Amino acid sequence: MIRAVDLHKSFGSQRVLAGVNLEIPDGTICVVIGGSGAGKSCLLKHLIGLLRPDQGEVWVDSVELSALRGRALNRVRDRFGMLFQGGALFDSLSVYDNVAFPLREKTRLSEAVIRQKVHERLAQVGLSGVDDKFPSELSGGMRKRVALARALVSEPEILLFDEPTTGLDPIRVNAIHRLILDLHQLLHFTAVVVSHEIPEIFSLATQVAMLHEGMIIATGTPSEIQASPNPVVQQFISGSTEGPIEAN
């Protein structure tokens, strides 16, 4: 479904992507791992067309994003949902209004249909009955669930997750991973997940790709990545300060 071909991106003198090649098959969960500043979030923004590459292509099925503008690009983006690192909920809106927001902005659905869809998604993430609460009244884990319900409410084919468990304790990390996996099995979306949660994230992944110095240096199943002979991959997985990656 998604293919990145020789992606390059620099911001001034800082090179972030240096020839990324990655194929993400339909219906899979691809987890992108790598150190801080490796370009993981930058890659996600290219996949949804928020950034344009200096060189290279991003394909979604048979459509190449960099050639699109305006409504044509928006039609492709409508196939995506995104869960941002901090959740990006609107503090001034209730839980219900946060989840309803994409439907009100992008569709002409009646409020009755919107209400049905919002309640369905909130129930799926285990948050029935919190419609009137505000983000400040929720725990970190609950805010992540609200953000996930909002990402799912428009029924996207593709979901992008940028560090979906940042700031959560290990129990809640595993709970969010389990929820994503359960919803994937129920709704059959394609997912791209950026994460530092090693090794917990391997239980979620169909495919793992490691981004290092602007390039994908290894791809495979979780077991293949864990058995990789690449010393950079092994050092990142183990968290060791000894190895080719400098601990700055």
Per-residue confidence of the chain (248 residues) as pLDDT tens digits? 899 999 999 999 999 999 999 999 999 999 999 988 888 999 999 999 899 999 999 999 989 998 888 889 988 988 998 888 767 889 999 999 999 999 998 888 999 999 999 999 999 999 988 999 999 999 888 898 899 999 999 999 999 999 888 888 888 888 889 889 999 998 899 999 998 888 888 989 999 999 999 999 999 999 999 999 999 999 989 888 877 877 66
* 37 within 8 A of 46, measured Cβ to Cβ: no
Domains detected in the chain: 1-79+157-243 (3.40.50.300), 88-155 (no CATH)
Q: Is the pTM of this model over 0.85?
A: yes
Determine the number of helices (DSSP H) and then strands (DSSP E) in the chain: 8, 10
Look at residue 157 and give its three-state secondary structure.
coil
Buried b (16+ CB within 10 A) or exposed e, 30-69: bbbbbbeebbbbbbbebbbbebebeebebbbeeeebbebe
